[in-house]
Amino acid sequence: IAQWLCRLATVSRAASTFRVLPVGMEWPVAVLAVWSVTSALSLCSPNYYVLDDGAGLGRVFDGVGGLSGGGATSRLLVNYEEPYRGQILDYLFKPNFGASLHILKVEIGGDAQTTDGTEPSHMHYENDENYFRGYEWWLMKEAKKRNPNITLIGLPWAFPGWVGHGKNWPYDFPDITAAYVVNWILGAKQYHDLDIQYVGIWNERNYDSKYIKMLRYTLDKNDLEGVRIIASDNLWEPIALSLLLDPELSTAVDVIGAHYPGTTTVPDALKTQKALWSSEDYSTFNDEVGGGCWARILNQNYINGLMTATISWNLVASYYDKLPFGRDGLMTAEEPWSGNYVVESPIWITAHTTQFTQPGWTYLQTVGHLAQGGSYVSLTDGKGNLTVVIETMTHNHSVCVRPPLPKFNVTSQNATFQLKGSFVSIKELHVWRSQFNFKTKKPVFFEKQTPLTVMNGSFTLNLAEDEVYTLTTITTGQKGSYPDPPPSACFPKVYKDDFNVRNPPFSEAPDFADQTGVFEYYNNLTDPGPHTFTLRQVLTERPITWATDADQTISVIGDYEWENLTVTCDVFMESVRTGGVFIAARVDKGGQSIRSTNGIFFWVFADGTYKVTNDLAGQAVLAEGQSGTRAYGWHTLSLTVTGPLASGMLNGYPLWKNAVVLNPKNGWAAIGTHSFELAQFDNFAIVAQ
């Protein structure tokens, strides 16, 4: 009938255009003239979309999530004071408040640089286990407090050196690596009552099928049959083809995860019938264009690639802004010293999906692209509830950092939706809208609209460019809010830390961001005097990592814009003859670029010498000589930089002065060691101008 009416309406429109009616069609056309133009044409219009569960459903929805780690992306979050830290967590995890995330994925710390810093391992050494290091345990518990149903995922980006037995590769001994990962999962339950539901397998080069099978075996042997494996948590191929060819491997793997898939998958992945996830995505500066990127991929990852979960790298941009990929989180929280944070547009774009769906809902088969650009997805809980998410993001306003985005066009349009199947009786839909308003630069996000009346199972929307709509039967949506946080402020110009914390809540000292090595609070039982509690670099072996780290260990702190300052610190070397430590100013790089960082580095060594260099590698020497420093004794270093000149003091006396430093002009302060070696630091202080 619809097709006949469509043809009739077309004839009617053509006839009226030429003011000639076909013989015998005068009355039918006359009767249907108005109706045919306004209604029947919509049945064959490209702007007409059916939402129907009658012909069956699509894939099961697994959720939307955020990723903490890969690496050290939540480093500064733990240092916020209340109530601001709790508010940030509410915006991320609290149901029906902000992003209301369904999934939290965390790094299984491996002691190595993995993008913006290092995260400590639960096993620095083979005979060492500690399930209280780092902050991911705390973060998972805070997420669970707010959403007991949140899905927890762990993924190691790197491993302690002992796992590879001297090689920068973790899979030559799959039983050892599997035991290491399973210990982390067991520790999460034993010490924190956290049930890890998924574990990922990732490596920059390739996956290892023997390791995947061993991991499945080790999980099962430890009564962890319910923990599912995501592989290769990197690329669709070659894992997809391998799953088709290897039944044992296919049995071990539950989810194929891809990073930055560009909303598409590959035929072999679809043939496996496995759940497909975008297990790491987004990674884009969180301004309005970043919000547009997130809106587009949240819909189109399923439409184009049948991906049922999308996880943002990263969860919250809580690391120093000048580290790589600054502000690439769903929101920004990079100033614990001021309490300032920013709820960015991706939080509210996330809410368009997460507040009106849950894992276990199902996509309809009727999802797709809009005729004039944009897309729509529809999901149901199978109990009569329906949620539709529509986005009309234009190309230039939805570009993600990767992969490249092919050109496409989006224009304003009317879209008519027809409800069928079990949804035909719906009379009203609640409406939430975000308008990016790039021209006026006055965006409005996640604003509740007047409910939409559904007439005869149909409704029409006037969709402008760069908008996101949610239409839903769910009534619990809410745009949560708190009073404005304190204003943004620079890192304090006068800063000191004596590390005298008897029972520290976290293993890391506030505001220090480890870039190579791991610096932890240390209770020095052998020295009950003024240096009982110190900060200690604890690694003695290079970890296994895909990133470019340094041969030296280093932890940065402070304001990247600092030019003129004095850094002071007590140091204690624990390697006789070969030991070496430094303090530094104007450190200009971090993250994956740490190996090539420059600055002003004041070194002392256990062989009784000192050196001043313009680089972390220690090759650009500005001054050197005798210092009389030895291991197992405390020494006080002081570095002053003013304009192009730098001077250093040892134990209160000038050791060198007026070294000429032309570059860099500014950067962080830092502490570190000459190699992967034990060393302690105490009474750290900065005075900046």
- Residue 204 is among the residues annotated as catalytic for this protein: yes
* pLDDT of 27 above 90: no
Q: Chain-wide mean pLDDT for the chain?
A: 93
How does DSSP classify residue 78?
G
Among residues 107, 136, 142, 280, the one annotated as catalytic is 280
- At residue 31 the predicted structure's pLDDT band, cuts being 50, 70 and 90, is very low
The whole-number average pLDDT for the span 424-436 is 98
CA distances 327 to 79, 116, 284, 466, Å, are 18, 12, 8, 22
Angle between the 288-305 and 345-354 helix axes, to the nearest 10 degrees?
A: 30
Quick: pLDDT tens for 222-261: 999 999 999 999 999 999 999 999 999 999 999 999 999 9
* pLDDT of 622 above 60: yes
The whole-number average pLDDT for the span 147-161 is 98
* pLDDT of 661 above 70: yes
The answer to whether 396 touches 28, Cβ cutoff 8 Å, is no
- How far does CA 399 lie from the centroid of its chain? 17
How does DSSP classify residue 112?
S
The whole-number average pLDDT for the span 316-327 is 97
Q: Count how many residues are written for the chain.
A: 689
Nearest 5°: phi and psi at 576? -65, 135
**What is the SS3 assignment for 657?**
strand
Domain with CATH 2.60.120.560 in the chain: 494-688
The whole-number average pLDDT for the span 345-363 is 98
- Vertex 476 angle, CA 368 and 434, to 5°: 50
Quick: pLDDT tens for 525-535: 777 788 999 99
Poorest-pLDDT segment among 44-53, 64-73, 228-237, 269-278: 44-53
CA distances 178 to 213, 335, 521, 607, Å, are 9, 37, 29, 41
pLDDT for the residue numbered 46: 55
- At residue 6 the predicted structure's pLDDT band, cuts being 50, 70 and 90, is very low
pLDDT for the residue numbered 197: 98
pTM: 0.93
pLDDT for the residue numbered 529: 81
Nearest to 516 by CA among 596, 575, 634: 596
- At residue 42 the predicted structure's pLDDT band, cuts being 50, 70 and 90, is very low
Quick: pLDDT tens for 277-309: 999 999 999 999 999 999 999 999 999 999 999
Would you tell me how many other CB atoms lie within 10 Å of the CB of residue 636? Answer: 15
How far apart CA 277 and CA 258 sit, in angstroms, is 6
- Amino acid making up residue 217: Y
Domain with CATH 3.20.20.80 in the chain: 59-352
Angle between the 174-192 and 136-146 helix axes, to the nearest 10 degrees?
A: 50
- At residue 205 the predicted structure's pLDDT band, cuts being 50, 70 and 90, is low
User: How much of the chain, in percent, has pLDDT values that exceed 70?
Assistant: 93
- At residue 116 the predicted structure's pLDDT band, cuts being 50, 70 and 90, is very high
pLDDT for the residue numbered 206: 60
Nearest to 386 by CA among 420, 416, 415: 420
- At residue 45 the predicted structure's pLDDT band, cuts being 50, 70 and 90, is low
List helix spans (H) across 339-431: 345-354
Poorest-pLDDT segment among 24-28, 151-155, 314-318, 485-489: 24-28
User: How much of the chain, in percent, has pLDDT values that exceed 90?
Assistant: 90
pLDDT for the residue numbered 491: 98
Poorest-pLDDT segment among 29-33, 323-327, 638-642, 650-654: 29-33
pLDDT for the residue numbered 649: 98
- At residue 32 the predicted structure's pLDDT band, cuts being 50, 70 and 90, is very low
Q: Which fold has domain 494-688?
A: Jelly Rolls (2.60.120)
| Strand bridging mode 519-523 / 533-537 | antiparallel
* pLDDT of 15 above 80: no
Q: Name the token pair of 125.
A: 């050494």
How far apart CA 598 and CA 6 sit, in angstroms, is 71
* pLDDT of 209 above 60: yes
The answer to whether 426 touches 454, Cβ cutoff 8 Å, is yes
- At residue 353 the predicted structure's pLDDT band, cuts being 50, 70 and 90, is very high
Q: Name the token pair of 511.
A: 């505001």
- More confident call, 643 vs 9: 643
- Of 1.20.120.1200, 3.10.330.20, 3.20.20.80, 3.30.70.580, which CATH number belongs to 59-352? 3.20.20.80
